[in-house]
Structure 1
Amino acid sequence: MSVRRRLLPALIAALALALPACSNGSAAPAGPVDLSKVTLHVGDQAGIQQALLQASGALNGAPYAVQWAEFPAAAPLLESLRARAIDIGIAGDAPTLNALAASNDITIVAGNRSPQQGGLAIIVPAGSPIKTVADLRGHTVSPTTQGSIGHYLLLQALAQAGLTAQDVKISFLQPVDAAAALQSGAIDAWSTWDPYTAVAQKEQGVRVLRDATGLASGLSFLDASNNSLDNPSLRAAMTDFVHRYNQALQWAQANPTELTGIYAKLTGRSQDVAGLVAQRSQRSGIPLTPDVVAELQRVADNYRRYGVLHNDVVVAQRIDDLGTARS
């Protein structure tokens, strides 16, 4: 069954015309909002979410317009949220926490979990003499951007191997630069995620040194600008978008081939790369329950202990769950 048929018209109409009660104390609008005049600016990384929404048809019939903004990683996406250039965007747990620690301008509004962690892994060239994480001692590693899920994975993996960040040479690089550095030998290992892991595996034949199993949560979040949340029309549009996004996630689990084709077309990636990305990006929307909040708080506490977060984050105070909001 298509996403369009599963979305109840009455629900969408209600979401379009009323502002749900919110946890941060924002007042309801005096009257209905007109979403036909709203453009929702959505941040994406490497085209993955745009492909998902387009392939599923989940945005068909939306009473507002969507304008996509593409970023190579979560850090610049979250900076754009802070700058109010976009309204909402998806980011992993670690970069979300970094943004929350750095600013009071962002709130988590929905959550999802990826069993395959979106290809998150530490990779090395196929012929590398590095066989275990412990072998990274003295070598140069890029965790991609500072505060990313790649950074968190590296720190977790090093700790598990009895090492610290001081035992390796860390080089923060944007994905394109890190990919080139790994190929040239300027770095010895790269901690990254899809589509970059998939490209390196399929096109450069890299080897996975350590995946994220047991080290990372697999959680990602839709984060919103507080300025946008305070706007009744944008809030109503974001509430509807969260529901459509979760429907698209359900559709993707049943239609990986169609998702692969759309992603390949949108991004110019090969079918092999697109197929691997589609497979490992499978995720499900989840409510932001006390258990999920506690899990994210443990990640925050770890990151604080590693010295990456410079301020404490009380996760429970930074949640406004639009995924369970109802008019």
Structure 2
Amino acid sequence: MTRKLRCNAIALGVAVALALTGCSGSDKPADSSADSKGLEKTTIKVGALPVPDAVSLYLANEKGFFKEEGLTVNPVIITGGAAALPQIESGALDISMTNYVSTFLAVSTGKKIKLIADCYQAGPNTFNIMVPGDSPLKTVADLKGKTVLVNNLHNISTLAVATQLKVAGLKETDVKFAEKPLPEMGAAIKSGQGEAGLLTEPFITATQSASGFRKLADTMTGQMENFPIAGWMATEEWSSKYPKTLAAFQRAISKAQQLASSDRKQIETMLPKYTKIDAKTASVITLGTYPSELNADRLQKVADLMLEYGYLKGAIDVKSVIAAPSSS
């Protein structure tokens, strides 16, 4: 699909503020009794961002994959993987979506976390440095001395930009990073709060369509090609206490990931149900991929890159962070 067709497919007033629409968590207490499948816990709360990355959670609910495993899963909106960590530590959430950079940063400080399932891997043009159409900036090298807006400092966004700066002969300190929520980033750039921003979908498509923004660089190239983005986490304590419940979740989410990977229409149908991405936008946004298994070698790439760019003070063996998959 050409860029022109892509942009014409989206209404000028495309909603860019993602919000949960009817999928908030239930206040129903978790059921600790064993069911016919022998689960230690049959009702769980799972934190998720209302973004395309988390589509398999909602697919698994709608298609009955969790129900087949004897699980009732209540999605709960979160603001980010790092923000969800205290909630899984307190027990407010059983499981949560997390980005891998936040996870390994937390592990490096001694947090006892287990990655239990994969969620999302970046593809081309899913994490782009965007600028207004009339910006004088033409290359990444032109960012020297400029302000780049990111949704979180010292996280995957800044790491992604840093890899592109390196290719251009610059260092991370050659630009100023400032935080701005993704829904507000386009307007912030237009008002002069920054010269560029690291945007993900659907905000890439929205700013192109509504504001005439253009891509300065695709950060998911070079060192970050096919970069693992997000997964599902639980505490070590929870994983040990509820192994059968964990295994049931792993099986159901893996099945949903396979469905998402094999049939984009399933994703397009689901997105309007738990985000404000309308059906027309869902049909044209650029998506990454949905791996059905955690792969230590792929995730080691994240930790190694974080070490290279100074995000970690010491190496992390990713295998030690991954919960063993169910053998049943």
**Please, what TM-score do these two structures have when normalized by structure 1?**
0.77
**Unaligned 5+ runs, structure 1:** 1-14, 19-31
- Alpha-carbon displacement from aligned partner over 1:218-274 (angstroms, at most 9, x marks no partner): 213222222311222xx3222212221121122123432342132123322233332
Report the CA distance shift for 1:34/1:114 in structure 2 as closer, same or farther (over 3 A): closer
Root-mean-square deviation (CA, aligned residues, Å) is 2.8
11, 30, 43: which one pairs with 2:47? 43
Name whichever of 244-253 and 50-59 sits farther off.
Answer: 50-59
- Alpha-carbon displacement from aligned partner over 1:286-324 (angstroms, at most 9, x marks no partner): 3434x33xxx334323323433335543323222232xx
SS in 1 for 2:151: coil
Q: 1:227 aligned to 2:228?
A: no
- Which residue number in structure 1 is paired with residue 327 of structure 2? 326
- Which residue number in structure 2 is paired with residue 124 of structure 1? 131
- Which residue number in structure 2 is paired with residue 145 of structure 1? 152
Per-residue deviation, 1:17: 6.9
More helix by share: 1
- Which residue number in structure 2 is paired with residue 69 of structure 1? 76
The CA distance in 2 between the partners of 1:145 and 1:134, in whole Å, is 22
Name whichever of 312-321 and 161-170 sits farther off.
Answer: 312-321
- Which residue number in structure 2 is paired with residue 302 of structure 1? 305
Q: 1:91 aligned to 2:101?
A: no
SS in 2 for 1:282: coil
- Which residue number in structure 2 is paired with residue 3 of structure 1? none
Report the CA distance shift for 1:17/1:103 in structure 2 as closer, same or farther (over 3 A): farther
99, 115, 121: which one pairs with 1:114? 121
Equivalences for 1:7-26 in 2 at 5 Å? none
Equivalences for 1:1-327 in 2 at 5 Å? 32-35=38-41, 38-48=42-52, 49=54, 50-54=57-61, 56-111=63-118, 114=121, 116=123, 119-211=126-218, 212-216=220-224, 217-219=226-228, 220-232=230-242, 235-277=243-285, 279-289=286-296, 291-292=297-298, 296-310=299-313, 312-322=315-325, 325-327=326-328
Q: Is the 8 A contact 2:50 2:274 kept in 1?
A: no
- Alpha-carbon displacement from aligned partner over 1:88-142 (angstroms, at most 9, x marks no partner): 2233332222222234221122335636268122211222111111111111002
**Please, what TM-score do these two structures have when normalized by structure 2?**
0.77
**Unaligned 5+ runs, structure 2:** 1-33
Q: Is the 8 A contact 1:46 1:195 kept in 2?
A: no
The CA distance in 1 between the partners of 2:86 and 2:182, in whole Å, is 17
SS in 2 for 1:171: strand
Same amino acid, percent of matched pairs: 24
Q: Is the 8 A contact 1:80 1:86 kept in 2?
A: yes
Q: Is the 8 A contact 2:115 2:233 kept in 1?
A: yes
The CA distance in 2 between the partners of 1:149 and 1:51, in whole Å, is 24
The CA distance in 2 between the partners of 1:149 and 1:240, in whole Å, is 30
Q: Is the 8 A contact 1:84 1:227 kept in 2?
A: no
The ranges of structure 1 where at least 4 consecutive aligned residues each deviate by more than 4 angstroms after the TM superposition are 15-18, 54-57
The CA distance in 1 between the partners of 2:215 and 2:90, in whole Å, is 36
Q: Is the 8 A contact 2:254 2:292 kept in 1?
A: yes
What count of residue pairs does the alignment treat as equivalent?
289
SS in 2 for 1:108: strand
Per-residue deviation, 1:79: 4.3
The CA distance in 1 between the partners of 2:89 and 2:261, in whole Å, is 32
Q: Is the 8 A contact 1:113 1:218 kept in 2?
A: no
Q: Is the 8 A contact 1:88 1:238 kept in 2?
A: no
The CA distance in 1 between the partners of 2:124 and 2:99, in whole Å, is 10
Report the CA distance shift for 1:52/1:116 in structure 2 as closer, same or farther (over 3 A): farther
